[in-house]
Structure 1
Amino acid sequence: MQINLTGHHIEITASLRGYVEEKFTKLERHFDQINNVHVILNVQKMQQTAEAKIHLKKGEVFAVSEHADMYAAIDSLIDKLDRQVIKHKEKLIKH
C-alpha cells in the first residue's frame, strides 16, 4: 500500500507521517487489496481537516473529517474509512 501525504498550510512532520501510516495499517488488516491512498491534511484558522481517497480493487472510497485537533481528525477519518472499506468488501463478497 502506497500512502501519499500532502499538507495544506501545515508542515508534515515525521511524527504526523508515522501516525497516519500506523492508522492506515488498521485498514489494511480489514481489506488487503488497497492499492493507493492519498491523504490531505489541511489547516484553516482553528479547524483541522483530514481527507483521504483510497483506490481499492474495483472501486474508490473517499472521506473527510474535521476537528480542532489534527490527531482526532485523523482518528475520525480512519473510522469513517474503515466502515466504508468493510461495506465495499461485503459488496464484493455478495457478487
Structure 2
Amino acid sequence: MQINLTGHHVDITDALREYVNTKFTKLERHFDQINNSHVILTVEKLEQKAEANLHIKGGEVFASAINTDMYAAIDTLVDKLDRQILKHKGKAAQH
C-alpha cells in the first residue's frame, strides 16, 4: 500500500511518518486490497486534525478525526477507517 502523507501547518517528522505507517499496517491485515491512501495532517490553533482517503477495490473510504494530540487523532482515524473497511468487506462477501 502506498501512503501519501501531507501536512498543513505542520512539519512531517520521521516519527510521525513512521507512526502513520505502523498504524496503517493494521488496516492491511484486515483488508489487503487497498491500492493507495492519502493522509492529511493539519494543525489549527489547538486542534490537531487527521484525515485519510483510501482507494480500495470497489470504492473509496474517507474518515477524519480531531483531537488535541496528533497521535491520538491518528489513532482515532485508524479506528474509524478500520470499522469502515470491515463493513465494506462484509458487504462484498455477502454478494
Q: Could you say which residue in structure 2 is the equivalent of 1:30?
A: 30
Name the CA distance, whole Å, in 2 between partners of 1:87 and 1:44: 31
Q: Could you say which residue in structure 2 is the equivalent of 1:81?
A: 81
**Which residue identity does 1:88 align to in structure 2?**
H
Name the CA distance, whole Å, in 1 between partners of 2:58 and 2:36: 13
Q: Deviations 1:17-54 (Å, cap 9, x if unpaired)?
A: 00000000000000000001000000000000000000
Which sections of structure 2, spanning at least 5 residues, go unmatched? none
Q: Could you say which residue in structure 1 is the equivalent of 2:62?
A: 62
Q: Please show how residues 16-27 of structure 1 align to structure 2 within 5 Å.
A: 16-27=16-27
Q: Could you say which residue in structure 1 is the equivalent of 2:47?
A: 47
**Which residue identity does 2:8 align to in structure 1?**
H
CA drift of 1:3 comes to 0.1
- RMSD (CA atoms): 0.3
Name the CA distance, whole Å, in 2 between partners of 1:67 and 1:58: 30
Q: Could you say which residue in structure 1 is the equivalent of 2:5?
A: 5
CA drift of 1:14 comes to 0.3
Name the CA distance, whole Å, in 2 between partners of 1:59 and 1:85: 10
Name the CA distance, whole Å, in 1 between partners of 2:51 and 2:84: 14
Name the CA distance, whole Å, in 2 between partners of 1:58 and 1:84: 13
Give percent identity, aligned residues only: 68
CA drift of 1:72 comes to 0.1
Q: What's the TM-score once normalised by structure 2's chain length?
A: 0.99
CA drift of 1:15 comes to 0.3
Size of the aligned set, in residue pairs, is: 95
Query: SS at the partner of 1:60?
Result: strand
Which sections of structure 1, spanning at least 5 residues, go unmatched? none
